[in-house]
Amino acid sequence: MTAILGHEADGKTPAALGYRLPAEWEPHAATWIAWPHRRATFLGPFADITRAYARIVRALARHEPVRVIGTGGVLDEASAMVGGAPGVTLVDIPTNDSWIRDTGPVFLVPGTGADLPPAAVTWEWNAWGGKYPPWEADGRVARSIAAREGCTIFAPGLVLEGGAIETDGAGTLLVNARCVVTDSRNPGVSRERLEEILRRNLCVERVLWTGGELAGDDTDGHIDQLARFVRPGIVVAARQPDQGDPNHLPLAENLAHLETLVDAKGKTIEVIPIDIPPRFSYGGVQLPASHLNYYVGNRFIAVPVFRERTDRQALDTLAACFPGRVVEPVPLDVVVRGRGGLHCITRDQPA
């Protein structure tokens, strides 16, 4: 294992060495999940949360290996609930919280013809701009997983959450500027400098900056709630037709902006809208319920559903976007009480 400061070490960035950032729909070695234990993160009875995680772990493990992290009593609870499930491995790694999409490593694969060891980019972590201390254990999760998997580690020194980025696997990166170009994450760093670091360390040719946000989303607008690639050149995007919902205007503006973007191959992005549930709440608190927070794995796509009228259209649209894959509807009305979704609690490790 070698640690490399990606933007400082004599040009030895992942891009210069010949790595590539794969799309999520490419083959996986495993899915990583952090077992939940931080009760303050979630609204409502916490026992509902662990039961929901257990159902999700078992559903994903039917398709590919699932590695569940935690330590001490947290890992003991995970063991009691999912430890005996086929395809599930428990890994002793301490955590503060369970949003591993944001705290886990971003894995890279060798580009065509490149003879390179497995690699991962480990970003800095400050709990979405300092919102939820303490976060020191979560700040070590990415490095711990990457080291366990024998990866070369690139540490650019930039605060970035995994849910803030989305790639087509062909050189294009979608990023919401609201949760990256901000003094709460990267004070004093210009958008131009941030883009340079992203391109060099995530091995992409073009960074497409977006906006948009969801009411109740404490990440400041993670892209995996708003817009996702389904293949190069084609994006699905969240839409809220209900003009009385606070999400209506920002999502409409974001959708219009997405239709103006051009990817790394010079193609104008095609945008397919997917309606999300209107005014979805728990205890009077509006929550970021989005079908866009889906997860694509080996021969399947797991789609968040909320027992709402928008479920069916979302399932049908995504099934058409990912032909040949099993569509797994995953009830997320409980997990979303933590203001996150299915993609937020999973981290894909490419084969």
Rounded to whole angstroms, the Cα distance separating 48 from 38 reads 13
Q: Which of 348, 247, 246 is nearest to 291 (CA)?
A: 247
- Which one of the listed residues 151, 203, 321, 344 is annotated catalytic? 344
Q: Are 255 and 237 in contact (CB under 8 A)?
A: yes
Decide if 179 is catalytic.
no
**Total Cβ atoms within 10 A of residue 99:** 31
**Identity at 176, one-letter amino acid code:** N
**Total Cβ atoms within 10 A of residue 178:** 18
Question: Using alpha carbons only, how large is the chain's radius of gyration in Å?
Answer: 19
Alpha helices in 18-165 (DSSP H): 46-61, 72-82, 100-103, 127-130, 141-148
340 φ/ψ sector (left φ>0, alpha ψ -120 to 50, else beta)? beta
Reduced to 3 states (helix: H, G, I; strand: E, B; else coil), residue 158 is coil
What is each CA distance from 285 to 27, 185, 243, 288, in whole angstroms?
A: 38, 26, 18, 10
In sequence order, the 6+-apart residues with CB closer than 8 A to the CB of 268 are 259, 260, 261, 262
Rounded to whole angstroms, the Cα distance separating 306 from 261 reads 31
Rounded to whole angstroms, the Cα distance separating 270 from 274 reads 13
First to last CA, the chain: 18
Q: Are 214 and 168 in contact (CB under 8 A)?
A: no
What is each CA distance from 326 to 59, 160, 176, 213, 302, in whole angstroms?
A: 12, 31, 29, 29, 8
151 φ/ψ sector (left φ>0, alpha ψ -120 to 50, else beta)? beta
Task: Give the residue numbers marked as catalytic.
Answer: 344
